[in-house]
Amino acid sequence: MTQHTDRDIADLRTRLATARKVCVLTGAGMSAESGIPTFRDAQTGYWSRFDPMQLASEAGFRADPRMVWDWYAERREGVRRAQPNAGHLALGAYAQRHPGRLTLVTQNVDDLHQRAGNGDTLRLHGDILLDRWLERCTHQPSLTDVSGAVPGRPPKCPHCGNLVRPGVVWFGEMLPDGAMEAAQQAAFECDVMLVVGTSGAVWPAAGLAQVAHEAGAHVAIVNPQPSEIDDQAHLCLRGTAAGVLPRVLDGV
């Protein structure tokens, strides 16, 4: 794993231009330049200001549904205000130029990849703009029927009091059915893997770089800082998603 030179960028561009299959894994750093905070960046990351177990776990939600609901409502507003950045747009344009070549796997719960043209993005950690029921209950009224809730309080089933919760994967929860299997398959089959804006701190997503590396793919990381999976990369591009991705993807 080395720091990058212009020759490295040129080599990566050639690989991306000729690859049969490309897999891209993104994390919160992908959306940082769109104004959405990351989780583990010092001072600015969510987890430097909030307790993840209190806000991103079922136990935390059950302990204080209103506080967790409010936090997600605030994050949802931020996602709705955010715009895809140059990195999202470069990935969307690449997918349009090479139909079927790119599998984009994200840990992010925003919709910026989809809005940038990667409609088939594999979401490992769910969708912050979706709601779901906390319990399986027999009534299950339509979520829109209960959405006109009291602001600041999670909507609830009028029959049994079942609460609505955000449609994201909380710590300790299973990933969406089939998502990780599809992501592993894409990592195994690809010729090139780009890993963008993730600390590599959360498994199983963090393991995808190793799957690709061991299957013989060329792995490049885009991150201004070192990550926990740098040892799986042939190349570390020390830069930001919006700064680096257009340089490696535009025109190939």
The residues annotated as belonging to the active site are: 125
Pure H helices in the chain: 6-18, 29-32, 52-55, 58-63, 65-81, 86-97, 112-115, 179-189, 208-214, 241-249
Quote the least distance from Cβ 183 to ligand APR, whole Å: 13
Quote the least distance from Cβ 229 to ligand APR, whole Å: 10
Show the tokens assigned to 53: 């177990």
Q: Is the peptide bond before 204 cis (omega within 30 degrees of 0)?
A: yes
Q: In the chain, how long is the greatest CA-to-CA distance?
A: 64
Quote the least distance from Cβ 64 to ligand APR, whole Å: 19
Quote the least distance from Cβ 19 to ligand APR, whole Å: 21
Q: Are 38 and 29 in contact (CB under 8 A)?
A: yes
Write out the residues near ligand APR by the rule CB under 6 A: 27-29, 32-33, 38-41, 45, 52, 107, 125, 197-199, 201-202, 222-225, 227, 240-241
Quote the least distance from Cβ 39 to ligand APR, whole Å: 3
CA distance 217 to 44: 33
CA distance 231 to 207: 12
**CA-CA distances (angstroms) from residue 23 to 69, 72, 84, 93?**
34, 29, 19, 15
CA distance 215 to 55: 37
Q: Is 126 left (phi over 0), alpha (psi -120 to 50) or beta?
A: left
